[in-house]
Structure 1
Amino acid sequence: EVDPIFNGPQGLGLYLLKDKSPLKNYKGIKQGLKKVFNTIGIFKETIEFFPFYLLGYLLCDRRHYDIFIGGGQWALLLGYVLKKMRKVKIVVADDYDYQAGNQTITKFRFLFTRYLENFVLKQSDLIISVGHLLAELRKKELKREIKIIPNGVDYNLFAVAQEKLPHPPTLIYTGAVEWWSGLDLVIKAMAEVKKDIPNLQLMIIGHCYPQYLNYLFELAKQLRIKKNIEYLGRKPYKELPFYLKRADIGLAVYSPIKIRKYGFSLKTIEYMAAGLPVIITQNIQTALIVKKYQCGKLVEFEENSIATAIKHLFINQSIYKTYSSNCLKYAPQFDWEKLIDDFYQTIISVNSTLLS
């Protein structure tokens, strides 16, 4: 595991300077170095992605295509170039994230990423965003029509987790264990909830850099709940339902930064397919789904709000069962097979005249 100092969003921050968050501000030379190296990271990104995408095509393929589908500014830049080379007819933007929102250290890098992202999106023949918040942002900035198709779930795979195994009261988090995951707030909330639910457990599955993981366990140790935290590391995707069988509530307590606000959390729909009510930060895209279908509790990004939601769901079993029932009722509409068919039909219907 090597994390270069020019890495995408964090720069010198989270790992080289041992930050708990890349939003941390230093005084003097450390803060200056952090901003300088983060800005230099633009050049690293520029030579790391697009040239190799293009080189890979030129060396390994060279065929002509009707439709190019790309996600992210660098992949779409390749689509733009291939269309100029007349190698593809139509470029479709799979708009799954607000990439500029991942740049939190310097305004220059944010503006650079936003400019490039908007440029390649404007050149695309069709933009399909994952949610209403991102679509509204694109409409405002690009002044064009945006189609919306959400992220989904392999429903048959995760429905297996609806049959639970014996376990203590358990919270679960799956996915990237990053500073924006809110797990430090969850651990603080657990210290309060433990007074009422002594055997409450937290199961964490996903990749985590050592610095942040050490911080989480040091925090748990200070709060005397380290034995209640179980970190299992990375697990194969097909094994996730086995762990969801031993959980009661799914966590998506994200920091409300832009990259999380506009993204569509896969884990939320996976929790729902497994019958788990969700605790999620309010005012982000996936929270709209949880609120619309009454599949969990929306919370503020602070420990007291999270603690109240945890206690509310475990103590009020009638509400828990209602949320769980709603999860089972509405999750099937997010099955990937249906959504991929919608994606395909959208491309064909919108671009039929161009293809002809």
Structure 2
Amino acid sequence: MKRTKNIVFMCSSVHVWTDTRIYYKEAQSLAENGLQVEFYALDYPAEKREIRNLTMHYLPNLSRRSRIQHQRTLWKAFQKSRAANFHFHDPELLFLAKKIKRKYGDQVKVVYDMHEHLPAAVRTKQWLPKFLRPILSQIVTKVERYLMKSVDAVIFAEKSYRENYPTESFTKIDILNYPITPPVHNVKKNKIFTMIYVGGLTEQRGLFNMLNLAATLKEKGVSDFQLKLIGPVLTAETKIKNFVRKKHLEEHVVQFDRLPYTEIWQHYHTSHLGLCLLHPTPNNLNSRSTKLFEYMAAGLPVLASDFSSFIEMMTTHKSGYTADPFDSSLLADLVCQVKNNPELAEQLGKNGEKAFFENYSWHGEAEKLMALYDERK
């Protein structure tokens, strides 16, 4: 069977099909530009629609130990496919990539889309015993480098990831996770001051920093505010419920599960302040969180952790503030500064929105993605 250069087999054995970067940005951009995309990702109960040039395949949700079954499914599917491009998004699929390269050689272009630097991430994975993390990180580094010899190109979601592969011969390209230009909005802000966070709800991503901020605001006598959390809970839910109940925050904390990308913008546009209180883990310190750009695109002032890259952004664009994510008193004071000065909040939001359209739109990243595949024509 002859493989076709304008067909891309794109897959993830970890992410749900509605993943913003994979589905809404990359898969749809490729399809809109005439490539045929065969898309495999985890099933999720969201509205499914037909898109020209994009064929969807949904994988069952399995436990971490059972996910190896997805590799068998994807291997069988790829053998039946005519795709000359294998584009994958998870480090565990490096094993499958090597298998594909061994069988098909230069008939197939193998592209690894790196969302995080795995060796660094292993050192902070909460589900791993602490004493094992440094050892596993070293092992992962060696195995990853060996398997990546089978890769033709690596897409880095963050520029800093490239620094870890200075001598590797594969094609390297930075395709940053900038937002798609948001839909035109014609909605009013919520009557009550609303802080918003969108993303996985974990301690390392600032979940309890935000909850402590809410508790501190209440202790300071601020009663007319809301903390809106949108995303999958990746920590013990009972711990969240107990904290909210103990601090009497039931009227202030509103929680949603994962929402479709298009729905998120409605919540952004009706909110007043975007939060990004990440912990200073290696991956967080070396990345520029997508949330920052989405908040800016929606015209929201930003309150973020005082990482050097975040400080540079907020200072350059005058679009928000940074502070120690563990200093809830200072964070609360900054929230009050934005809350009590509507004109200041509006100007910060406008500054961020201007910076987004001038510097951080997905449009330019989509062009780089297409350039990578145009090389195959």
Query: Could you say whether these structures have the same fold, taking a TM-score greater than 0.5 normalized by the shorter chain as the test?
Result: yes
Structure 1: give runs of 5+ residues left out of the alignment: 1-7, 9-43
What is the aligned partner in structure 2 of residue 238 from structure 1?
A: 262
**Residue 101 (structure 1) aligned to one of 120, 133, 138:** 120
Matches of 2:93 and 2:308, distance apart in 1 = 25
Is 1:304 matched up with 2:324? no
1:151 maps to what in 2?
A: 177
Does the CA contact (< 8 Å) of 1:73 and 1:116 recur in 2?
A: no
The CA distance in 1 between the partners of 2:73 and 2:321, in whole Å, is: 47
**Alignment correspondent of 2:159:** 132
C-alpha displacement of 1:147: 2.6
Q: Please state whether the residue corresponding to 1:208 is helix, strand or coil.
A: coil
Whole-angstrom distance in 2 between the partners of 1:74 and 1:175? 22
Q: CA deviation at 1:326?
A: 1.7
CA shift, 1:143, in A, is: 8.4
User: Contact 2:153–2:170 at 8 Å: present in 1 too?
Assistant: no
- 1:217/1:52 CA distance change after superposition, 3 Å: closer
| Deviation sequence 1:196-255 (CA, Å, 0-9, x none) | 53212111112215x633323322333333321112333333221222233111111112
Offset at 1:146?
3.8
Residues 48-59 of structure 1: pairs in structure 2 closer than 5 A:
48-49=67-68, 52-59=70-77
Q: Would the alpha carbon gap of residues 117 and 46 (structure 1) be closer, same or farther in structure 2, given more than 3 Å must change? A: farther
Q: Check conservation: 1:150, 1:264, Cα contact below 8 A.
A: no
CA-to-partner distance for each residue in 1:43-98, whole Å, 9 max, x for gaps? x968633x632443325643454332222322233223212211643222222212
Contact kept? 1:167, 1:247, Cα under 8 Å? no
**Closer, same or farther: CA 316–167 of 1 in aligned 2, 3 Å:** closer
Q: Is the 8 A contact 2:154 2:170 kept in 1?
A: no
* Deviation at residue 170 of structure 1 after TM alignment: 1.0
Among 175, 180, 197, the alignment partner of 2:204 is: 180
Instruction: Note closer, same or farther for the CA distance 1:237–1:48 as it changes in structure 2 (3 Å cut).
Output: same
**Greater share of residues in helix:** 1
Aligned to 1:247: 271
Deviates more, 1:52-61 or 1:247-256: 52-61
Of Structure 1 and Structure 2, the greater strand share is in 2
The AA in structure 1 aligned to 2:76 is L
Contact 1:97 1:262 in 2 (8 A): no
Selected match of 1:315 from 320, 325, 340: 340
Q: Aligned equivalents of 1:48 and 1:212: distance in 2?
A: 22
C-alpha change, 1:53 and 1:328, in structure 2 (3 Å) is same
Match of 1:17 in 2: none
Pairwise mapping of residues 72-91 of structure 1 onto structure 2 (< 5 A)?
Answer: 72-86=90-104, 88-91=107-110
The normalised TM-score by structure 1 is 0.73
| 1:193-208 equivalent positions in 2, closer than 5 A | 193-194=217-218, 195=220, 197-208=222-233
Tell me the alpha carbon deviations over residues 12-46 of structure 1, each in whole angstroms, 9 at most, x when there is no partner.
xxxxxxxxxxxxxxxxxxxxxxxxxxxxxxxx968
Deviation at 1:347, TM superposition (A): 4.7
Change (3 A) 1:47 1:171: closer
For the 8 Å contact 1:186–1:306, the answer to whether it is kept is no
Q: Which amino acid aligns with 1:82?
A: I
Moved over 4 A (4+): 44-47, 141-145, 284-292
1:343 Cα deviation from its structure 2 partner: 1.5
Q: Please report how far the alpha carbon of residue 285 of structure 1 lies from its aligned counterpart in structure 2 after TM superposition.
A: 6.1
CA distance in 1, matches of 2:182, 2:196: 20
C-alpha distance 138-184 of structure 1, shift in aligned 2 (>3 A)? same
Contact residue 262 and residue 284 of structure 1 kept, 8 A: no
Contact 1:163–1:245 (8 Å) recurs in 2: yes
Alignment-derived partner of residue 35 in structure 2: none
Cα contact 1:100–1:110 (8 A) shared by 2? yes
Counterpart AA for 1:202: L
Separation in 2, partners of 1:344, 1:249? 34
Q: How many residues align?
A: 304
Q: Matches of 1:238 and 1:83 in 2, distance apart?
A: 37
Farther-moved stretch of structure 1 (87-96 vs 169-178):
87-96
What's the counterpart of residue 111 of structure 1? Answer: 138
Aligned position for 1:340: 366
Normalization by structure 2: what TM-score?
A: 0.69
Matched position secondary structure for 1:82: helix
Q: Which one is further off, 283-292 or 259-268?
A: 283-292
SS at match of 1:155: coil
Which consecutive unaligned segments of at least 5 residues does structure 2 have?
A: 1-13, 15-62, 125-129
Alpha-carbon distance change, 245 to 52 in structure 1, aligned in 2, over 3 angstroms: closer
1:65 & 1:288 partners in 2: Cα distance?
42
